[in-house]
Amino acid sequence: MIAGLIFVVSSLTLLQFFVSYSRSIITESRGHTLSEQARELCGIRSSLLAGEQFGRLNQLMALCPEANDDGFKVKVVGIYFHLLGFARTFIGWAIPSADTWIETERGGCAYVAAVVLDRRIAHNRMMVANLASH
Amino acid sequence: MLDPVNYTIWLAVLLVEIFSLVCLLRKKAFSKHFTLVFYLCACVATDIGSYTIIHTSGYESDAYFYFYFYSQSLLTICLYFVLMNLYTHVFSEMGVGKYIRACALLILAGTAGISYYLVAISFNRMVTHFVAELGQNLYFVGVVLTYLLWGAMAKLRENRTRLLQLVLSMGVYVSLSAGSYAMNNLYPNHIFWQYYFPVTSMWLPLSWAYTFVKVPADAQLATARVLAPNQ
């Protein structure tokens, strides 16, 4: 009985802490302005990204490796992105107003991926420039 | 002996803990966040100790069984010291550090006492069950304490990004562990748990390494932006 109660309460607090942690990563990334080069390369037109772009940005990230990685950040935001997708499927039909919030959050996840990609592109360009100068 | 999967997980956990420890030391976190460094050192010592015992006595031995449960309890107590450290940082301007330490020690002793009492009245003082019950209860009290700290941070409009992320990652870990221990109590002796607990133990070292390496010491973030949606 006590174990069951602890499991339920812990699951709820886990959800809240994880959402807040992911949001802190997203908010932190919002402070970074995407470079024109990255926007051009990724085909990003506005500062608000759609959630669907997350998958494509992840694929682009895989093509653009970097030594000093943000892998942990991408993994956490990736889990949050899938959690939001799950919430949209199972809660969206019951609370239609939640759909807008979920889509904005998924857009935030895509923005984090775009920021990481931007940094990787800048890093790789610098590496190429260094190689060319030698 | 460990099977290949167990051995890979053990090695991965050890490397992640050492990596995190190096990151913290390189970012000069030793004096300001001594308890975090102490916790990571305790984790590394526990991993090495468990590997040694598995090699000398075997994975199925009583020696390893007792070592595992008691070392996990000690690590949970170390985690309380980390939590105390975070409380001290949040309330640093109020000068209530000693009251926080006294309170945390009282709660720790109380939880251990209640866990022992619950086991004593129902399982004829079976020591291993006491340790499992203690783990579940200590983590759950950790959840409550972290939740209170997070609430206080929101109320005080705490804006230090590092502190914010340390508290939130601690919240994720203690909630995950309390829930897992509760499930382990309900469904014990399942092979899943021997892989699950070591894998989840990587969360704290990884999140701490990320926070200290990627988040500048003076970075600020409004708590309201994390709490309220889409501000």
What DSSP element (H or E) covers B96?
Answer: none
SS3 per residue for B152-181: HHHHCCCCEHHHHHHHHHHHHHHHHHHHHH
What SS3 class is residue A134? coil
Position B71 confidence tier, pLDDT thresholds 50, 70, 90 = confident
Residue located via tokens 């093509």: A63
A67 vs B: CB within 8 A: no
Cβ-defined contact of B175 to A14 (cutoff 8 Å): yes
pTM of the model: 0.88
Integer Cα distance of A2 and A127 in angstroms: 57
Out of B143, B168, B183, the one facing A24 most closely (by C-beta) is B168
| Angle, alpha carbons B8-B14-B20 (nearest 5°) | 130
DSSP B60: T
Residue B17's closest CA among B207, B167, B215?
Answer: B207
A106 vs B: CB within 8 A: no
Measured between CA atoms, the residue of chain B closest to residue A15 is: B172
User: Given a cut of 80, is residue B48 above it in pLDDT?
Assistant: yes
A90 vs B: CB within 8 A: no
| Angle, alpha carbons B74-B81-B8 (nearest 5°) | 50
For residues A98-123, average pLDDT: 86
Cβ-defined contact of A20 to B168 (cutoff 8 Å): yes
- What integer pLDDT is reported at residue A58 of this predicted model? 84
Mean pLDDT for all residues in chain B:
84
For residues A76-84, average pLDDT: 93
**Both tokens assigned to A109:** 């996840």
User: Given a cut of 60, is residue B124 above it in pLDDT?
Assistant: no
DSSP bridge pairs for B160: B220
CATH class of B4-227: mainly alpha
Position A67 confidence tier, pLDDT thresholds 50, 70, 90 = low
**Both tokens assigned to B74:** 């000690």
ipTM comes to 0.86
Q: Kindly tell me the number of DSSP H helices and DSSP E strands found in chain A.
A: 5, 0
For residues B67-77, average pLDDT: 84
- What integer pLDDT is reported at residue B5 of this predicted model? 86
CB contact at 8 A, A42 and A114: yes
Q: Kindly tell me the number of DSSP H helices and DSSP E strands found in chain B.
A: 9, 0
Cβ-defined contact of A11 to B172 (cutoff 8 Å): no
Cβ-defined contact of B178 to A4 (cutoff 8 Å): no
B186 vs A: CB within 8 A: yes
Residue A76's closest CA among B77, B214, B12?
Answer: B214
Torsion angle in degrees (nearest 10) through CA of A49, A91, B222, B158: -150
Helix, strand, coil abundance in chain B, percent, nearest 5 = 80, 0, 20
All residues of chain B having their beta carbon less than 8 Å from the beta carbon of residue A7 are 179, 182-183, 186
Domain boundaries, position A43: 2-133
Q: What are B211-224's pLDDT values in tens digits?
A: 999 888 888 887 77
User: Given a cut of 90, is residue B65 above it in pLDDT?
Assistant: no
**Both tokens assigned to A129:** 């420039």
CB contact at 8 A, B213 and B27: yes
- What integer pLDDT is reported at residue A63 of this predicted model? 82
- What integer pLDDT is reported at residue B159 of this predicted model? 84
Optimal mutation site among B141, B214, B215, B231, interface A, most CBs of chain A within 10 A: B214
User: Given a cut of 70, is residue B126 above it in pLDDT?
Assistant: no
- What integer pLDDT is reported at residue B188 of this predicted model? 76
For residues A48-73, average pLDDT: 79
Out of B171, B210, B219, the one facing A13 most closely (by C-beta) is B171
B26 vs A: CB within 8 A: no
Half-sphere exposure of A67 toward its Cβ, with a 13 Å CA cutoff? 4
